[in-house]
Structure 1
Amino acid sequence: MNWVTNPNNPPSEIPGGGQNLCQFYQFSWQWFISLVNAPDGNERTFLNEERYRIFLGGGQDSCAPNTLQSKLFVRGGKDPQTTDEDFKAPHEMNQALNNAVLYDQNGNIVLYETRFDSGMCDVAQGSSTLPAGTTEIKTSWRKISEKDRPNYVWVRSDTNNNGELDADELYGMVGFHLVISTPEHPEFIWATFEHKYNAPDCQKANQPISDWSFASEQCTASLPTPDANCEFNKTLDPDKKGDSPLTGTPTEVCQVYAQGTAQGDNQAEHNRANIISLNEQLNKVFKRMPTYNSLRVLAKYELVGGLWLNDVTQPSSNRDNQRGSIQLANTTMETNAQQGRKFNEVIYTGPHNLTPATNCFDCHAYSGPTKNAGVSHIFNSIHGSSK
């Protein structure tokens, strides 16, 4: 796996022509590794503002030079601890189904950041197409301690907007959405990664019950048919519109569809096996890396799954045309969409009451290669409202 030890040149197309599922997942991992790598020993590639701009929203020009190293947003509104000048998170960065908020088991809110490759700034505004190689990245973060830092991809962010990096403004990455187009796949390849200790498998019994970031021991122990009081995957509405406190009642979260796959999905068992096998192989590679290697921490992360189309001349609305992880959802970004096929929040109550997920293409509809810009929710806003 020389693409792990030499990760700076990820492929522009699916290896081997995309003839099988594994090639798509190898592509996803190659890009994830390359983006998380720190080639200079300090800054991780996806955090390089010159290459991957921070989407600012709020009518601001995200393509203009700025001095931000990172900017994490509270989903659904401004930080109530600051002034009215604080940034209001745009709707594009909310949970899939509503403006609800997610709190970890320490009672700290989950924060978000969206980035895009700087080449998008050169695409004519109003263009109906985006070129091959266009990349968007969305990440989710939770507050961590210094002791936790070796186990996370981490950043420091001025979340309270006081102009300083306070000692407790240390955040570990818990989710990573990667969306990238290729010459053969203008619909974009959609892949998502998570920290391994985010949440338990909803449908699995006899699994570890402790150390989950988003599930309590008591509720995890009750799976796969949980105690009704747990209300798994029920996100919280803000106390009032535009007001999302930085601390709150912990949310109980579990992953409804492991590997983003349900029984009966296209090549379901084969899809699961490919993802599990590749994750296990790479985990061994990362664990053998020296502690100073910026990629060693990826032993704490895993690919949940990926999604793409079989026939890119046809729209994504036909699920029979979709391939990969048909129920794909990230527990920290689409918590309440894991069973929300009809755009309704559904609480997980057990393996016999499952409904399909709202996946990437449900929200980011693709109509064809000549209109692929429509899948991006940020493209028309990256230059701000003044352009």
Structure 2
Amino acid sequence: MTDSHREISFSDLCHAQLTLQGHEQATSIQSRAFANDGDKVFLLAPTGEGKTLAAVIRYFHQLEAGRAFQCLVLLPTRELAQQWFDVIQTVIGDSPLSAYALIGGEDYKAQAIALERGADILVATVGRLETHLESQPRLLDQVDFLIIDEADQQLGPDKIQEMVGLYQKLPAIPKHVSLLSATMHRNTLKLCEQHLGFRPTVIKSDHVDRAALQLLITPADDRAHKLRLLVAWLQRNQDGKQVVFCSRQEQAQTLEGKLKYHGINAAALHGALTPKGRRVVIENFRNSESAVLVTTDLSARGLDIEKVNAVVNVDSPKQFDNFCHRIGRGGRDGGANTVVNFVIAAEWNRVVGFARRLELPIQSWLPQELAGLYRGPKKLKASGKAAGSKKKKSSAKASGKKSKKLKSKRK
């Protein structure tokens, strides 16, 4: 559901900026973000709905040119930082505002010189920013605007202490804070209040486009069987770009080689690549020079690439949030999005459970000639999950309990 610009209660500058980006209509999350003037907000919306643009435009008219690093944007990965920087540069246009991207893997001395010159907006990966703060401890003294993307990850239980350490280096709680994510852990707001000193207002999108999403499930015997199924799927579906997810970096590297062996134009995106190598992989995929991107949850987090019409889960994610982020890589330009899940017996219930939470129907994809021994659960519950039988008590335990009962009766 979208609203026209005329219905958005926001400044003329924001309307003009949104139009300059080529958007004649605001998405649900943009409309709601523009209408809310709260200082501390959490923008919660599916991937591809324009949260980045909403956050940038929301602060754009409040920034003052010439105030060094008054706005700080924190990202978990280099690729995401580069995407944010590109969006900000587009919004800035010919205005007097300036931005700088502080990304890991780049020349440290050149970055230090650039930081001394200053910029109004600093887009940074957390690790590289912390490194520079050791030599420039007052770098963030003027931060009034703070944006944290992928907030569910960066403020999650595993990362909150790292974020707190960086947050404590700010001279005061920024006046304006925007947290962004496609998902939110149940305790994110509580952790935010406990460790960062504020509880943001949640601004949630009401737009869910299930019609364009097709969820497929394919039973597999083992990993080798999954590879055969993957090759068959990619060879039979060559229109558009596809993102293939693995659990670990080494699996992505291995899978890239095996797909190339079968004549599939694939490239792997993972942490072992140099910054330049990662940029080349992403740009080649973005420009369709490679048709298949093999990656992991961490490496692909937040990637915004158009014309991806299929996401393939070779390994199903263990967390529902990661499942949501994965499927969000496809259909970002409003097109169709097919999500294929190759599952062994132990993964079946997990994927079906994810689908139920998203209220998505599941269809089967299994060419007869590729069917293995495992073809899905023998019995299904109404939910679609495997129907298991209750475990019978062992004879030893049963006889033990029986003897105890006899003893109690004798007493």
TM range (shorter): under 0.3
Question: Which structure carries more helix by proportion?
Answer: 2
TM-score, normalisation: structure 2:
0.26
Q: Which has the higher contact order (CA 8 A, sep 6+)?
A: 1
Task: Kindly name which structure, 1 or 2, has the bigger radius of gyration based on alpha carbons.
Answer: 2
